[in-house]
Every structure is written in C-alpha cells, then in structure tokens.
Amino acid sequence: MNIEAYFKISYGLYVVSSVSDDKLNGYISNTVFQVTAEPARFAIACSKNNYTNEMIQHSQVFSISVLQKDTRAEIIGAFGYRSGKDIDKFSKFSYKKGQTGAPILLDDTLAWFECEVVDSLDTGTHVLFIGNVVDGDLLNATGEPLTYDYYREVKKGKAPKNAPTYIDAEKFKQQVPAAASARYYCTACGYVYDPLTGDPEHGIPPGTGFEDLPETWVCPACGTEKIDFVKKQQG
C-alpha cells in the first residue's frame, strides 16, 4: 500500500469548538463538509478521545472556524496538539460565543458557522456529527483558506493523532529517503531547528546539535515534543 495515495484526498483545516457548562474547547479538524443545502447542514468527524467530543455529546452544539492560509503556528499547536483537559485553549486568542453558546475562534479565521446537532453516527474511532447551521459570518472575503495539502507540503506538518487522516509515523518513515541535513523540522507546525542558531530564547546556545537537546525540549512554536521532529532534507 502506497501511503502517499491518502494525501491526494483534499481537505481544509478548521477549528471545531463546543461548550459544556462553563468550559470551552476546540480542536483542529480536516473533516468538515456541507452535506445539504436546504436546510444547510454540516458534518464533522470528532475522535472519541477528543475532549471536545464529550462537550458536543453534552451540549449538542458546535462551531466551525475556517482557518486562513497563513494561520499562526500557535493556533495549530494549541488546538491541534494540546489537550483541553490540560490548558485553556481560548485563553490566548480572540473568540466570541455564538447563539448556541459555542465558542467561535476569530483569530486567523476567514469565516465561521455554528450548528445544532440533529444526528450522529458512530464510525468506530470517531463520531460523525451532523448539525443544522443556525448562524455564520464571513470575516475575510479575500483571504485564502488553509488546506491540508498546503499544511503538509509547505508547512511540513502532519495530521494529529486523533485526526481521521492520521498515519503512524513509522509507516511514513519507511517511504521517506534518508535525510542529508543536520536540521530538523517539527511535524506539527513546520518549525525548523538549526544547530547553527540553537534556541537561545529557551537556553539552547548556538552550536547545539539536535541529538544533544534535552529530552524535555519542545518546539518553541507549538510545544510539540522532541520525538516528533524529523530530519529535514535539502533540495
């Protein structure tokens, strides 16, 4: 099986959010699609391991924020690679509560929708929620949306473990030629660690090889662990 075949299926990247009592949370999703026009309905896929899944099950509402092409790494890191059980994902970003009470991320967002769940389907590892659109708005008419293809090919990111499109890194490594560079990139946000510059902001002086970084070191851009960095090829 050629793993690369999966990457030819097109997706966008979104922040899907919900609410439960006074708690807010959201996650990066590449599985959002409109399923009907009248009434307008969207379907989303949410991992059963996602904290947001519990919230949607409880509140029966969710919002969708369409991310722009140059979305900051901090947003990808917070909503894609951190758990809402550990941090308040919305604390550092602009958002508002919609009619349903669901939070709507506004930073780096082109458009948004909020929905009320009308049906759901257990697909195994994920739950497919279908919701009626109750409100929405266009925030940036000229911006380009962030696609999974751009995120993977340009930003060199990969799908989070709970994403429907996640592929185990070991399977992918079997098809990636050995790298010829000493630089390493973060598979979450594309940040490149260069030994020549180090990471002085976090106490790593220039000249520190990647192998010599402490195991507790994480990506300065999104907080991804050292183990998820991959040697960067040149050319």
Tens of pLDDT along 111-157?
999 999 999 999 999 999 999 999 999 999 999 999 988 877 665 55
pLDDT-derived band at 179, boundaries 50, 70, 90: very low
pLDDT-derived band at 160, boundaries 50, 70, 90: low
Q: Which residues contact 207 (CB under 8 A, 6 or more apart)?
A: 195, 196, 198
Q: What is the pTM of this model?
A: 0.74
Q: Which residues contact 212 (CB under 8 A, 6 or more apart)?
A: none
Nearest to 192 by CA among 219, 211, 213: 219
Nearest to 16 by CA among 43, 39, 41: 43
Alpha helices (H) along the chain: 51-59, 73-81, 148-153, 169-173
What is the predicted pLDDT for the residue at 44? Answer: 98
Q: CA-to-CA distance for 218 and 224, rounded, in angstroms?
A: 5
Residue matched to tokens 């389907």: 121
Nearest to 44 by CA among 104, 115, 150: 115
What is the predicted pLDDT for the residue at 172? Answer: 43
User: Could you give the domains of the chain?
Assistant: 3-149 (2.30.110.10), 177-235 (2.20.28.10)
* Residue 229 φ then ψ, to 5°: -90, 150
Q: CA-to-CA distance for 185 and 159, rounded, in angstroms?
A: 15
Q: What is the CA radius of gyration of the chain?
A: 19
Nearest to 63 by CA among 34, 42, 84: 42
pLDDT-derived band at 167, boundaries 50, 70, 90: low
pLDDT-derived band at 165, boundaries 50, 70, 90: low
Nearest to 13 by CA among 39, 37, 44, 35: 44
